[in-house]
Amino acid sequence: MALQEGLSADERTPRPIAKRISVGDITVTRTFSDRFDLEVGPLIPVADAFNVIVQMHDFEAHRLWRRGELVYEGGHPKASLAITDLRDQWQCHHLSPFDNVRFHIPFASMRSFTERAGRGEYVSLSPVQGRVDPVMFGLAQALLPSLDEPDRANLLFVEQINLAALAHLSQAYGGLHFPVDKKGTLAPWQERLATEFLVAHFNTPFSIGDLAAQCALSRSYFNKAFKESFGRTPSRWLSEYRIARVKECLLQDTPLAEIAIHCGFADQSHMTRVFTSLTGETPARFRKKNRSVVVAVDRPPQ
């Protein structure tokens, strides 16, 4: 196609429209385009953060690369979301018109939120592509007026929407549990001491009696109250925390045997049994799926 005479390079190259608003460390961006001829997007900057992308309309086609390898090709329905860990290198090519709202959330913000909520769990959000999520869709819709006129937006309202998003994401994709009825649960100070103790001793031996003593409770009462507070027993909480740490390590090149010892397992075989029981796949399979090519294709043009 011939270039239009008299237009600048930027005017000749179709680009999506982006509108954004930031409150604290969280940035929300609405990006949309009605074009089918967009170029491959730039590399997304690597960061200790994650993106949650909510589709505001049906989205027919795009390609998504991680570390230069195609990991997804297809579309997403309206109200669906994708969660991408930005500690990896990502690049996207939109092949059809689209309209999405993107929440850029540092992991530090998620950790701070869970700690303020009395939850010391190690939050590692599950990777998602194209899952319909009415809650995040509703929160994204609520932000559209603010994104249309960011200079006139009520920042307190935006902050509350962001907090609601953190609460939902941490429960739906991070495995956190917030009890509705506080009867029979640990007191907030006991929840904090218990989780701090578990985190500090996740890879060293200790007894449930040691943990109950931190909260000045008997072992039997502590077990019941902990389960009411966190939706799982202390042993299950610890296993899930260890597996979350294993998943982080599997994104690196650390040998499996070293990961097992670092994360508090007796050996690699023990780690594999627990990992498979909780996730439905082996550590090796998880590493292969999350660190290697899923669909064999050429790299995108730079």
CB 66 within 8 A of CB 89: yes
pLDDT of residue 113: 87
Q: What tokens were used for 263?
A: 């994360």
Average pLDDT of adjacent 10-residue blocks, the chain of 302 residues: 40 80 96 94 92 96 92 94 91 96 94 77 76 95 95 94 92 76 82 88 91 92 90 90 89 91 94 93 87 42 44
Strands 80-85 and 26-33: unpaired
Tokens of 67: 């570390």
Q: Answer yes or no: are the C-beta atoms of 17 and 131 closer than 8 Å.
A: no
If residue 49 lies in a helix (H) or strand (E), which one and from where to where? strand 49-55
> How far apart, in Å, are the Cα atoms of 217 and each of 191, 197, 220, 224?
12, 14, 8, 11
Residue 8 confidence (pLDDT): 45
3-class secondary-structure state, position 171:
helix
Distance between CA atoms of residues 10 and 38, nearest Å: 12
**pLDDT at residue 244, as a whole number:** 87
Whole-number Å distance between alpha carbons of 206 and 203: 9
Closest among 170, 192, 78 to 125, alpha carbons compared: 170
* Cα torsion through 234, 239, 244, 249, rounded to 10: 140
Question: What pTM did the predictor assign?
Answer: 0.69
pLDDT of residue 2: 33
Indicate the helix (H) or strand (E) that contains 21. Answer: strand 17-23
Stated length of the chain = 302
Sheet arrangement for strand 98-106: 17-23, 26-33, 98-106, 49-55, 80-85, 128-132
Question: Both ends of the chain: CA-CA distance in Å?
Answer: 20
Q: Which residue has the tokens 């701070």?
A: 112
Query: What pLDDT was estimated at residue 297?
Result: 36
Measured in whole angstroms, the distance separating CA 218 from the mean position of its chain's CA atoms is 36
Full strand arrangement of the beta sheet holding 90-94? 69-76, 59-66, 90-94
Go through the domains of the chain in sequence order and give each one's CATH number.
Answer: 9-172 (2.60.120.10), 188-290 (1.10.10.60)
Contacts of 98 (CB under 8 A, 6+ apart): 16, 31, 32, 33, 55, 57, 59, 62
